[in-house]
Chains A and B, each alone.
Chain A
Amino acid sequence: MAMNPAESTNWGGRDRRRLALQVVVLVLVAMVFVVGTNMLAKHLLTRFPWMRADLTEVKLHSLSDTTRGLLESQQPDADITVVFKSLGQTRSQVTAEQEALARLLDLLGEYRLLAPGLNVTTVDVDRDPSRARDIADRLELRELQPAEVSRVVVEAGGRRRDIPQAAWVSIDYGDGRRPASIVAFPAEDALTSALVHVLDPTPPEVHFLTGHGEGDPDAEDPAHGFSQARELLEQIGLEVRTLDLAARGEVPDEAAAVLVAGVRSDFTKAEAEALAAYFRRGGRGYFLLDPGVALPNVRELLRPYNLTLMDPELIVIDSKQHPIGADWDELAIKQGITGYHPITESLSMTGRRVHLGRSRPIRRTVVDTTMSPVSLLKTATRERDLSFLMRLTEDRSVRVRKVEFDEERDYHDGLEFDLAFAVESPGSEGTARLVTFGSSSFASNARIRMGANQQLFVNVANWLVDREFRLGIPPRTDLDRTFVMTEENDRKYLLLFVAGIPGLAALLGIATWVVRRR
């Protein structure tokens, strides 16, 4: 019950002092309560992740379970240095770069919330050149070209992993008419990989086979060079080696996986047997087998795993049976990422396509009923009115003029062909894993940065070396939320929001005023 103000005059000086002291104490207690509650909330956040809810439609700011698991279980102490240098020439290019940097720093903020031991330093080379010089000296970045300077450097326990800008963001720099924009933002994948690498003192080894014209992991050649694939493997924390089976005679035990990238001649029987022995022990194989090369021994090697390589001629024909091309990319593998396997599960949700290049289909055959190869890629088409004719012979004469379907020789069965498979098989020392693609060009320097190729290539490598936990980090891509400010849209906006609704409120005010005056 409130007291009549007149009563206040009845208080004596001593009572007043006592009451004032009481109020001061109460205020202090309230302050302690406020500070204590906030400290507790801050402390509890790391234990209860739901305390930080991401309400965006595509969960744009949520760390994957993989990253969360890594950070929570290992609580890593690591230094992360973000070195940023703008390459943009136009305002929209600089804006896109700045947005990418802001998103990266936001992401690192999310990492730090779960792992306070991560020490993040950011340096903008253009804005803070003297500090950038010091950091560049320490990180030995001084010799790099300007385009290579932007990178994230992750360091822990004397180990270091550099993430070049192209690995954490893909920016379309646009042209005169089209503004620059962020195409993909696989930063979480890159950062978590780098952390895994620096925290793991014995990284798994991937051996590129040599001796049969395979793609060279050191070659920069666009069509048959795999230097970028090598870089990617190193970025996810794998050691890359080469292996000449003819010279060595067997696959070494330390090989976590062997990679066959685009052989141009078949393996010898002895080499095929060495590989078969390795797989029987539980080895891992990554086969990228281009069409147009006869590979009977490789075919035999894969047969026990219920896989049969095909080497057909693909002809795209129109409704009048005229051949109009034979481009596998026209088959647009967009819907072709199956999503039936951990390798492709996250990729199939992104809607991005794989640029596979010319490829050979692979058929599932039943030799061993205990083995079930899972299709990773299927052909699909954007042009539903086209027909496809698969000619299963080496006869290339069909390219000229009229195509006639031959029931005996030709395969014309809808639009779906399998182009890659993953299969597991129990081995004497562990489970063997094989992934076979009908093409090596998707991982070549010319194509690996296209579409979903990079992610697919990396996912396969992670699956082969038992890093399934790394397969669930899709790139963070928001939907297109652009409101195109055409003259008409701008007029609508101004009329409705700047004039209409505020005007309505003002009119209501006038009406109220008039009513009150009456």
Chain B
Amino acid sequence: MRNLLTLSRRELGAIAFAPSSYWILGLFLFVVAYFFRLALVAVGGDISQSYRSFASVVYFQLLLCVVPPLLTMRSIASERHSGTFEMLMTAPVTDRQVVLSKFVGAFAFYAALWLPTIVIPIALFQFGAYPDFGQVIAFTIGLLGLGAFFVSIGIFTSSVTSKIQAAFFLAFVLNVFFLFGVAGLAWLSPSEIVRDWSSALIIPQHLDEFARGIVDVRYLVFYVTATGFFLFLAVRSLESRQWR
């Protein structure tokens, strides 16, 4: 546990002292605020509807696919690329601790990206509107759940290659597949059973539900288990150096 905390602190420190983190944060907040304003205008100022409208915009969904790989692409791949990976591996830490600390660092930064957006409904309240804070909390829970899933995919892809661009691209493709491809497969499938089961994996539908103010434990179970699965794959990927 101590090793994990030390490694996680190292990861978070690296993020906090990197100027690029703040530039990514600024750019991210700009894009989110701008798209939210467009959504707000599109639904005539109805804040409740604007969350649903915002969550359904393709640009926003693409942003969700792009940001986690940007945060994770360097996590293991760059250590391999720069040669510090071997040094890390000689330290008295397990592969699992390495993967988890990378995940904690990237996920904490992802959560930090969304944190300032909670200011939007608070400020709208100050401006005289009346947002539904339950809906805001549900939407934030959904974004964090999905973020954990996509960050774990990024950690996994970063663990299988030493090329940063390849790690980003692979993670992006997987994210797009989970975000849009699964829905396509569900709709195309002739089997009622497949359609029924895969409907629970359609992420745009999850986002819509969270944006309505609903927290469905099934979706959280999916995100937690899928996150665990990709982190498990990342650990196995690191271990594979022993027998490859």
Q: Report Cα–Cα, A501/B34, bound state, in Å.
A: 12
Q: Report Cα–Cα, A23/B18, bound state, in Å.
A: 36
Q: Which of the residues A19, A53, A56, A512 comes within 8 Å of B17, measured between beta carbons?
A: A512
Q: A19-B243, A482-B45, A508-B22 are in contact. Are A38 and B221 (CB under 8 A)?
A: yes
Contact B95 A2 (CB under 8 A): yes
Q: Nearest-CB distance from B229 to chain A (Å)?
A: 5
B contact patch SS: helix
Contacts of A1 in B (CB 8 A): 92, 94
Say if the beta carbon of A428 comes within 8 Å of chain B: no
Q: Report Cα–Cα, A274/B200, bound state, in Å.
A: 60
Contact B242 A37 (CB under 8 A): no
Contacts of B90 in A (CB 8 A): 2, 4
Contacts of B123 in A (CB 8 A): 496-497
Q: Report Cα–Cα, A60/B212, bound state, in Å.
A: 9
Say if the beta carbon of B43 comes within 8 Å of chain A: yes
Q: Which of B40-81 contact A (CB under 8 A)?
A: 40-41, 43-49
Contact A45 B26 (CB under 8 A): no
Say if the beta carbon of A27 comes within 8 Å of chain B: yes
Q: Report Cα–Cα, A501/B41, bound state, in Å.
A: 20
Q: Report Cα–Cα, A60/B37, bound state, in Å.
A: 24
Q: Report Cα–Cα, A1/B229, bound state, in Å.
A: 21
Say if the beta carbon of A321 comes within 8 Å of chain B: no
Contact A34 B229 (CB under 8 A): yes
Q: A8-B243, A61-B212 are in contact. Are A509 and B86 (CB under 8 A)?
A: no
Say if the beta carbon of B131 comes within 8 Å of chain A: yes
Q: A20-B243, A482-B47 are in contact. Are A52 and B214 (CB under 8 A)?
A: yes
Q: Report Cα–Cα, A508/B200, bound state, in Å.
A: 41
Contacts of B37 in A (CB 8 A): 490, 493-494, 497-498
Say if the beta carbon of B108 comes within 8 Å of chain A: no
Q: Which of the residues B17, B29, B91, B130 comes within 8 Å of A502, measured between beta carbons?
A: B29
Contact A55 B120 (CB under 8 A): no
Contact B129 A483 (CB under 8 A): yes
Contact B243 A485 (CB under 8 A): no
Q: A1-B92, A2-B93, A37-B225 are in contact. Are A485 and B26 (CB under 8 A)?
A: no
Q: Report Cα–Cα, A34/B20, bound state, in Å.
A: 36
Q: Which of the residues A2, A481, A492, A501 comes within 8 Å of B29, measured between beta carbons?
A: A501
Chain B residue at minimal CB-CB distance from A39: B197
Q: Report Cα–Cα, A458/B240, bound state, in Å.
A: 69
Contacts of A492 in B (CB 8 A): 127
Q: Which of B122-137 contact A (CB under 8 A)?
A: 123-124, 127-135, 137
Contact B49 A99 (CB under 8 A): yes
Contact B26 A505 (CB under 8 A): yes
Chain A residue at minimal CB-CB distance from B44: A179
Q: Report Cα–Cα, A55/B127, bound state, in Å.
A: 23
Q: Report Cα–Cα, A492/B125, bound state, in Å.
A: 13
Binary flags per residue of A462-506, CB closer than 8 Å to B gives 1, else 0: 000000000000000011111111000110111011100111111
Stretch of B5-13, B165-173, B180-188, B231-239 on the interface side = B231-239
Q: Nearest-CB distance from B121 to chain A (Å)?
A: 10
Binding site for A on B (CB under 8 A): 17-23, 25-27, 29-30, 33-34, 36-37, 40-41, 43-49, 86, 89-95, 98, 116, 119-120, 123-124, 127-135, 137-138, 197, 200-201, 212-218, 221-222, 225-226, 228-229, 232-233, 236, 239-244
User: Can you offer 22 A-B residue contacts whose CB atoms are under 8 A?
Assistant: A15-B243, A16-B243, A27-B232, A31-B229, A38-B218, A41-B218, A42-B218, A54-B214, A55-B137, A55-B214, A56-B212, A57-B132, A106-B212, A481-B48, A483-B124, A493-B37, A496-B123, A501-B116, A501-B119, A502-B26, A502-B30, A510-B22
